[in-house]
Chains A and B, each alone.
Chain A
Amino acid sequence: MSLANVNLSNIVIKQYRYKMKSFIGVFLALMVIQVFGILISMLGASSSGFSNGFFFINVTSYTANVVIAFTMIWAFTNAIIVTTKSYREDDFTFISNRLSYNLSNILFLITACVIGAITAFLSRGVIYILVFFVNDLETFLTVNQEVNMADYLIGVLATILIVLLAGAAGYVVGMLFQLNKLLIFILPVFVFGLDFIRTSNESTLQRIFEFYFTEQVFTIFVVKTIMTILLGFGLAALLTNRMEVRR
């Protein structure tokens, strides 16, 4: 019997398609968590009131930030779940090596995160509409004058990148757990330990967050996040390239 020839990209695409069908639970979880996020967002992000004696004005602002934060948590936890044994074994039942396994996982996570980020971004419109109908408001203000298409695109792209950042972080963390189960205890200690390491009046953990989330220049933010995401995925693939499967 002559040997069948296969190439990497072909197998990666097959594994990716298999994952899109079999990891359907990931998208169900996304729906649940975003609906929950939308309901919480309807309570209002911030509220302030002032009065001049005759009138009392109460201003409540609504944003989709909670939905986006929830989506980040979803991306992080789902990336961890994808690295677990039962998901891994599914791949190695059929044709796979560790590289194709990692690449198809990464492709899947990127797809899931892009979908999650876009729906999270669009949930703002849903929140506005729901608030408009459900809450008894006298005046409903939206910003629509100065926001153009480019601003929306930047918003979508930024949301995609931060959700992906959470996904990549989850993937690295999950793979570390797979390499050594002790890291499940050590890693959280290490991360929260960073909170106590202070060089100035800010903790290291705080500064890591600020490095990404307080960046004012969009292009620098894009470069920072994309580099980090690539580094994370690359690290995870490298770490698991010698991993034994079907134990």
Chain B
Amino acid sequence: MNVIECKDLVKNYGGANALDHLSVFIKENTITGLIGRNGAGKTTLLKIIAGFWKATSGEVKVFNRQPFNNLIVSANSIFVDDMMDFTSALTIKELLDEAKTFYPNWDHDLAEGLLNYFEFNPNQSHQSLSKGKKSTYNMIIGLASKCALTIFDEPTTGMDAAVRKDFYRALLKDYIQSPRTIIISSHHLDEVEDLLEDVLLIHDGKTLLHLSIEELKEYAVKISGRTALVMQYLDNKEVIYKEEINSETCSVIVRNNFPHESVKRLGITVSSVKPSDLCVYLTSQSKGGIDDVFSKRESV
């Protein structure tokens, strides 16, 4: 069953299309990583799914319902980011009690256990927490609410490395205990890679790829060798990214849809591409790399 169905979703935001005819289906009980560059439309997509924003056109269904203004969708989903607002009149401990009254599946033991583990002072207000602590606290709310759809938008903002590791571990353990549909948006695919089942890569408001993590690992390979040889071989290949090219040697990222043996025999090396690197290659602008900006300046 699909928990989320988006068809031809368009969202006009500030005069530009933040989402540009995006379509995506997300299955029940999966952990999906939403990956994309800054401004790719990750947050926009998630806020439309959560029912906070309204799509300009297109169709969005969450649990088979339009999420905007839908109380059932709101009750069964939670959106966690670093901008979550809590009243300053209550302490973070009291806020957990409030959340408990709202969410039907709330796991209070888990919430209190995590609050304890991350060494929160229960009498603090949410406003007085540091940036990383706020993110950690929001994550606790997100996990303990046990909503059928749990959305984490850049959840690790401000967290230190140790807390980040704990967070991913807590998320995985909790997911195994009570499977549900989880979406995590992040720029750092390598950090969440081990956690994810599916990867949804979006770019310029469109779906670029939606694959399982295994498929993504096999999606492309890097071929490198003498330039003359490799270039000749590229003719009928789907080139994703040209990494280094000079007169001597070069390495190119291509779709992995050919037998490797024949290539290796020519003296070209074929190596795998890390999913996180692949996502960078796939979403890189055709303006060359950051190095070009500097090399142009030097030549002037």
Contact = CB atoms under 8 A, between A and B. Distances in A.
Interface of A: 1-8, 11, 14, 17-18, 21-25, 86, 89-90, 92-100, 241-242, 244-247
B69 A99 contact: yes
**A-B interface, 9 closest residue pairs, ranked by CB to CB distance from nearest:** A22-B87, A89-B85, A4-B104, A6-B75, A94-B102, A1-B148, A22-B89, A97-B69, A246-B52
B70 interface: yes
B104 A100 contact: no
A95 B75 CA distance: 5
A93 B84 CA distance: 6
B281 to A, nearest CB: 33
A7 B86 CA distance: 23
A242 B54 contact: yes
A244 B101 CA distance: 25
Nearest to B104: A4
A100 B71 contact: yes
A90 to B, nearest CB: 5
B12 to A, nearest CB: 12
A84 B273 CA distance: 49
B178 interface: yes
A94 to B, nearest CB: 4
B47 interface: yes
A92 B79 CA distance: 9
Contact of B71 (A89, A95, A247): A95
A94 B98 contact: yes
A14 B99 CA distance: 10
Contacts of A92: 52
30 contacts: A1-B146, A1-B179, A1-B180, A4-B75, A4-B103, A5-B72, A6-B75, A7-B71, A11-B102, A14-B102, A18-B98, A21-B87, A21-B94, A23-B87, A23-B89, A86-B85, A89-B84, A89-B85, A93-B85, A93-B86, A95-B71, A96-B71, A97-B51, A98-B69, A242-B54, A244-B52, A244-B54, A245-B52, A246-B50, A246-B79
B119 to A, nearest CB: 23
Contacts of B69: 97-99, 241
B180 to A, nearest CB: 5
Nearest to A242: B54
B29 interface: yes
Contacts of A2: 148
Interface in B141-176: 146, 148
A21 B102 contact: no
B90 interface: yes
Given A244-B53, A244-B54, A246-B47, A97 B74 contact: yes
Nearest to B179: A1
A98 B102 CA distance: 16
Given A95-B103, A246-B79, A21 B72 contact: no
B86 A6 contact: no
Interface string B257-297: 00000000000000000000000000000000000000000
Nearest to B81: A246
A17 B89 CA distance: 13
B63 interface: yes
Contacts of B101: 14, 17-18
B227 interface: no
Interface string B118-132: 000000000000000
Contacts of B86: 90, 93
B256 interface: no
Contacts of B38: none
> Of residues A6, A89, A99, which shows the largest number of chain B Cβ atoms within 10 Å of its Cβ?
A6
A9 to B, nearest CB: 11
B76 A4 contact: yes
B300 interface: no
B285 to A, nearest CB: 28
B63 to A, nearest CB: 6
Contact of B72 (A6, A22, A241, A245): A6
Contacts of A18: 87, 98, 101
